[in-house]
Amino acid sequence: MSITTLDGALAGCQPPRFFFKGTGITPTATGVPISLWSSAGIPGPGSFDTSTAYGVALSSSSSLVNGQIPHTDPGSGNAYLMKFLAQVSQPGLLLLCDRIWHCGANSAGSAISVTSTSSQTINSNTSGASNNSGSWYARDNNGSSNGDGILLALEVSSGVGSGTPTITVTYTNSAGTGSHTGGFVLPWTASSKTGSFYPIALQAGDIGVRSVQTIQLSNSMSSGQFVLVAYRVLAQVEIDVAATANAVDLLTSGFPRLYNGVVPFLVFIPANTTAPSFCGQYSETQG
């Protein structure tokens, strides 16, 4: 079953959820995205994992994940985004994303080194207790685990030092081709702050990531910690002027499907480095 009419969308409206964030969110630089995952507020903060080999595949189907905007899977049928509204104290672009997987540890279960320049094995596709047996949950653009539309980012979980490395991530694309590589979309900024969220580029022809094999830094970050994140962008709203609000509804958002187990979280691309605050509404329809 699926929703194919406006009446259907109306009939399936779920109670909206709201978010309020504003403490400890400090952009590293203009244009460098910042994740609100670990920030205090409503919802409460999420956490990072730096000890689970192969990372943690995330799903809200059995229980909510700390840090996510609340979601409950439909009893039957599908879930869709009905509305996403945000007011932000600074201009920029706010992304609503589905957090698919995060990983702060190598395949041995040790925290990813921020000082090593050797290749570090991740192997998210290795079966583990916390990573859905080595597959993303089936939440890519097509509701599969192949990875179409699933992107990678490096998220700073603890403010890093003054080193300015480049990065090489080896991954398998959504078509199943391995040994593809990606680096930072944006240049790394020294002393990046907690929450900084650096997207990782795809190799030519790729449209998503199925799994991650290795990560390598060109030189040391000196200190701090980061995690790798696999995510899918669900919607975005533009904030043209500081402290204004904007919204997308079921039509202007493209009525994206929210697959069972979705873990909605927010990423902001700031137009300046002033600490922003956020509030907004997230609504689903199901049927």
Partner 1 sequence: MSITTLAGVQSGLLPPSFFTKTTGTSSVQSRCVSFWYISGYPNAPTPDYSTANGSTLTSSPGSPVTGMLPFQDPVSGNSYLARLQVGMAELATYGGALMLADRMWSCGADNSGASFDLSSGTNVTIASPTWPARDIAGSTNGDGVFIAMEVATTFSPSNTVNSTISYTNSAGTSGRTGTLVLSTNSATGNPGGFYIFGLQAGDTGVRSVEGFTANIWTSGSTIGKVQLVAFRPIGMVDLNYSGQTNAADALDVGFPVIPNGAVPFLISTNIVTSSNSPVISGSATWAQG
What count of Cα atoms within 13 Å lies in the side-chain half-sphere of residue 258?
35
Residue 87 interacting with partner 1 (CB under 8 A):
yes
Number of residues in contact with partner 1, rule: CB under 8 A?
Answer: 50
C-alpha distances in angstroms, 124 versus 4, 48, 274?
36, 16, 36
Determine the interface stretch with partner 1 among 141-149, 171-179, 201-209, 278-286 (rule: CB under 8 A).
278-286
Residue 1 interacting with partner 1 (CB under 8 A):
no
Binding residues for partner 1 restricted to 206-245, rule: CB under 8 A = 239-245
For residues 263 and 196, give the distance between their C-alpha atoms in angstroms, rounded to a whole number. Answer: 19
User: Of 54 and 84, which has the nearer Cβ to partner 1?
Assistant: 84
Residue 82 interacting with partner 1 (CB under 8 A):
yes
Residue 23 interacting with partner 1 (CB under 8 A):
yes
Contact residues for 265 (Cβ-Cβ < 8 A; gap 6+): 35, 36, 37, 46, 67, 68, 69, 96, 97, 98, 99, 231
Residue 21 interacting with partner 1 (CB under 8 A):
yes
> To the nearest 10°, the Cα dihedral for 172, 173, 178, 179?
-80
Residue 17 interacting with partner 1 (CB under 8 A):
yes
Smallest distance from partner 1 to CB 139, Å: 21
For residues 171 and 34, give the distance between their C-alpha atoms in angstroms, rounded to a whole number. Answer: 23
Among positions 190, 247, 260, 273, the unique one binding partner 1 when judged by CB under 8 A: 247
> In the chain, what's the furthest Cα-to-Cα distance?
56
The answer to whether 235 and 85 have CB atoms below 8 angstroms apart is: no
Give the binding site for partner 1 (CB under 8 A). 6-7, 9-11, 13-18, 20-23, 40-47, 64, 66-67, 70, 82-83, 85-87, 89, 239-247, 249-250, 277, 279-281, 283, 285
